[in-house]
Structure 1
């Protein structure tokens, strides 16, 4: 169980100043940090306020009606709220959970949504039922789970403005209980070690006929490929700065550390669908993932490797969600517009052309509450290149590849023949020049003999 929570002092002070400047009576947001099963300490890197709802309302507000009802039950003649019964907090659990789901997609390895924070007075916080608070925490935990789904603890940080102080509680998800813990400030972000990895992937999966292998949708097929890739990553060996990691040691060298994974070769290739009657197409899901992980100076190095692997898998799943969401929207629009005639064969249609149009800068400012302008160089360029997914006969694909090989072979033969002809021409030119040089040499030699040869004297 987490017994001590350490928050970064710079980020905490900045968050507190922001809350005081806004002057709002209540606010809810996400706690970004790190919780490890092997340690009894938790780390808090930043606090991110939940944005207003689609209707423009706050995600957290005060409820003062309950005080009046309590006064009536106690026999109050006026029925007016009394100062002895302060307002309690009302949290939009679904909206906070959705915020946690989207933010968790944007976080790097080793960083998670570890709980929620509440900005309220001490009296308001105490007037709020613990069941209301634990319900909000459970919703965030379900929307943004850890890679280790068995971790059953999250944090609740209360930032009080009357009086001005911080406190932290640990919520056990199974029981919903809130237990107090020690809360400290310290230098965290400056001491983190950075690990980075560029992981190139290519998943080739045959599309079986409907109902075969229990796969129904395009997303199901890709999810299966990502699951196989995740299994391969779990057994992969890691090279850090060119050295093979064989034990759980601590690193003290300067970051960032370059990491490479040695993945088993084609360990989980799908071989169930093997006949032309069962296969109707081929899906190729490829690209490169730039993954990062951060850990404290005292954390074991195997934890950073595990966080990198989790970051790769979560990034793939997030990109798949973006692609399928775009696809579903455009397919719905095409169906509303009439679509194409149903007489064409599925194997001859182009299902969808996907284009990612996500505005990364605006999304970061909204989800991560970045008030200041974002430098263009500080944000990774979004994936704006169009991605097409079309169904073609598997054997047509194979035949096309074979034709390409034949064409490449013919091209290579023609190239070799041209090189041979060019070489022959060069040899002919060289022989011609040699003959001319020999002839000129003979003429010069004959002229020299005649001009400088011995003369006869008459007696």
Structure 2
């Protein structure tokens, strides 16, 4: 259980100044940090505000009082007249989606460990259950995978008076205000204690298709996730561990699989929307993650997105992933939107240590199913050739059987003649 939390003083003071200058009545965002089971402590590196949704609406707002009007007016000032009945509305799905995408950009040792809320004291007390639900949604969207904690942090930044408090939110099945327990919270130097480790990992995995009866054959995404988790168990026996954990290899592999699945789902939705009107123009096929592997007769080459590293805070890095056809310029928008940071102005600051491996299957190489079909037809062809050869042998045998009596007669006659010649010679 997390009993004490230490936040990086530099970054949290910057967040405090940003919030006080904004004069907004409420804000919700993610807590980036680390939970240590050995120390029963939590460490907070930074607070990342959740951006507005696709409709331009803020992810949280005050309702049932003056706060509603204030939350919709740009530049509106905080008021002490907000009624005690004001409660907080939070778009849980949007905050959870933000957590899911941000978790992909974090390296080993940094996780989404909870949420923060900027709101007055009374509204916070009236919204405890709502906030617990938001914390639980974030925990599900950004799982810590290894030794996953059954708790997350909820940091409350209150104004009038300005005060920081931290609570430990238990992820119990029944969400209630009693799930929130106070933690000892203080600020100090946290980011400076982080260390950087580098490693190279060559990834190669072969996934079984299953039995011919199809009972154990599933979609690509399901088979791939299952294969990755089995591979993760093998990786955990590695000797290159930091704090008893495998750096961030497993999370990186899972993130790339999820990106492939997300892209395929978007393609599937676009095809479903336009498929009725354009069936003659395009061939409607299931995207790779939806494929039934046992029913396929096509060759598929799948290139994982490449990982690039972007400077973040005090010498630390975050990461993003780009397709083979993309450049590092595409990661700048994600840095601004998801991490609320300034994008690197110099592209050379973005590190690209990975390269795409040469394809194992070229366009001239046949797929498994082509080879299987070829072997089947070849076997049939061989059988027909064997039959033809067998027939030819029978015909030759028939001819030789016709010649055998004649040869025998000639041999007998020749033997008699030779015998008579020797007899006459001796008699003379």
How much has 1:378 moved relative to structure 2? 3.3
Return the TM-score normalized by structure 1.
Answer: 0.61
Q: Does the CA contact (< 8 Å) of 1:122 and 1:163 recur in 2?
A: no
Q: Corresponding residue for 1:138? A: 136
Name which of 306, 313, 322 aligns with 2:245: 306
Q: Corresponding residue for 1:195? A: 197
Name which of 351, 365, 368 aligns with 1:393: 368
Which whole-Å CA distance do the structure 1 matches of 2:24 and 2:236 have between them? 46
Secondary structure of 2:341 counterpart: coil
Q: Corresponding residue for 2:39? A: 39
Which whole-Å CA distance do the structure 2 matches of 1:206 and 1:394 have between them? 14
Distance 1:212 1:29, change over 3 A: same
Say yes or no: does 1:323 pair with 2:260.
yes
How much has 1:235 moved relative to structure 2? 1.6
Distance 1:350 1:150, change over 3 A: closer
Secondary structure of 1:370 counterpart: coil
Name which of 217, 229, 233 aligns with 1:231: 233
Q: Does the CA contact (< 8 Å) of 2:297 and 2:369 recur in 1?
A: no
Distance 1:353 1:105, change over 3 A: closer
How much has 1:130 moved relative to structure 2? 1.6
Q: Corresponding residue for 1:54? A: 54
Secondary structure of 2:367 counterpart: coil
Distance 1:382 1:324, change over 3 A: farther
Distance 1:374 1:214, change over 3 A: farther
Which whole-Å CA distance do the structure 1 matches of 2:19 and 2:338 have between them? 17
Large movers: runs of 4+ above 6 Å: 352-355, 382-391, 397-400
How much has 1:111 moved relative to structure 2? 1.2
Name which of 178, 181, 187 aligns with 1:179: 181
How much has 1:360 moved relative to structure 2? 1.6
Which whole-Å CA distance do the structure 2 matches of 1:163 and 1:49 have between them? 21
* Residue correspondence of structure 1 range 86-235 to structure 2 within 5 A: 87-126=86-125, 128-148=126-146, 150-174=148-172, 176=176, 177-208=179-210, 212=214, 214-235=216-237
Distance 1:224 1:145, change over 3 A: closer
Q: Does the CA contact (< 8 Å) of 2:66 and 2:83 recur in 1?
A: no
How much has 1:108 moved relative to structure 2? 0.8
Return the TM-score normalized by structure 2.
Answer: 0.65
Unaligned runs of 5+ in 1: 69-81, 239-301, 401-459
Q: Corresponding residue for 1:284? A: none
Which whole-Å CA distance do the structure 2 matches of 1:88 and 1:394 have between them? 60
Q: Corresponding residue for 1:369? A: 340
How much has 1:333 moved relative to structure 2? 5.5
* Residue correspondence of structure 1 range 281-300 to structure 2 within 5 A: none
Distance 1:360 1:83, change over 3 A: closer
Which whole-Å CA distance do the structure 1 matches of 2:213 and 2:358 have between them? 26
Secondary structure of 2:39 counterpart: coil
Q: Corresponding residue for 2:18? A: 18
Equivalenced residues, count: 320
Unaligned runs of 5+ in 2: 69-80, 286-294, 306-322, 376-428
Deviations 1:66-99 (A, max 9, x none): 999xxxxxxxxxxxxx865252211111111111
